[in-house]
Amino acid sequence: MIDPIAFTIGPLKVHWYGIIMGTAFFIGTYLARYHVKRAGYDPDHMLNMVVWIIPAAIICARAYYVIFEWDYYKEHLASVVAVWEGGLAIHGGLIGGLLAGTLYIRKHNLPFLRIGDALMPSVILGQAIGRWGNFINQEAHGREVSAEFMEYFPAFIRDQMYIDGHYYHPTFLYESLWNLLVFLILMAILYRFRRFDGQVLFSYLILYSFGRFFIEGMRTDSLMIGDTIRVAQLVSLLLIALGILLYILVWRRSKRGNGINLP
């Protein structure tokens, strides 16, 4: 098992989870800066925007998780802020990042869809990297599997997925690989096949949510509504429907020469 604490500085414990999430934000920010510059806008907008987006994303990701796990956290209030233990819900982070990014875009009169297209490859790449924080914390895994099944995976993954005497599906890995594939598709759209503003953004909503829906069904730690509805699957279906609807709407308007820009 990998120690979740990377190193200590006096009384300060630096967790691998935080290092990995910080790396995801760092790489995503500089990739987005490049794409924003290539789109013809001041790349410093990206650096300024993340000052809004990163705190909002972390706060909303944690709040989203805590709300759906309130039965536990109401008895452990001190753990509400313990983000280094895991428990950052990506859909909550997307909501927070979207709200903060939209406020910044409106404040500086930037085109929402064009900037969104420039940002989405960075978002999905950050998600692909961030899933390895779940790996370190031995969370976001699936149901129990046999030792024979785990022989298909590298030893370091196999060993980390051996929890309390049992092996578990490395669903964090499945989602990380899916997100990496989506990243490559979004980059291809952005640089070769993009035909209208918003195409990359809406493709992200559809593709990420499609993979997340199926992978979520394998997990054992899903946030739930009642005993049967997995929150992430419900949200994924809604995002797929929204992405398809907006894709068709904006594509049709672009063909008629009437561009559309969301507020």
Q: What is the pLDDT of residues 80-116, one digit of tens each?
A: 988 877 778 999 999 999 999 999 999 999 999 999 9
Residue with tokens 């796990």: 69
Dihedral sign of CA atoms 139, 142, 144, 148 in order: negative
HSE value, Cβ hemisphere, 13 Å, CA-based, for 94: 20
What is the rounded average pLDDT of the residues 36-52?
91
pLDDT above 60 for 259? no
Q: Say which DSSP state 78 is in.
A: G
pLDDT tens, residue by residue, 198-225: 999 999 999 999 999 999 999 998 898 9
The model's confidence at residue 263, banded by pLDDT at 50, 70 and 90, is very low
Q: Where are the beta strands (DSSP E) in 166-212?
A: 166-168
Distance CA 242, CA 201 (A): 11
The 144-145 sheet, strands edge to edge: 144-145, 166-168, 162-163
pLDDT above 70 for 24? yes
Angle between helices 90-107 and 44-68 (to 10 degrees): 140
For residue 71, the one-letter residue type is: D
The answer to whether the CB of 232 falls within 8 A of the CB of 211 is no
The reported pTM is 0.91
What is the rounded average pLDDT of the residues 119-131?
96
Q: Say which DSSP state 142 is in.
A: B
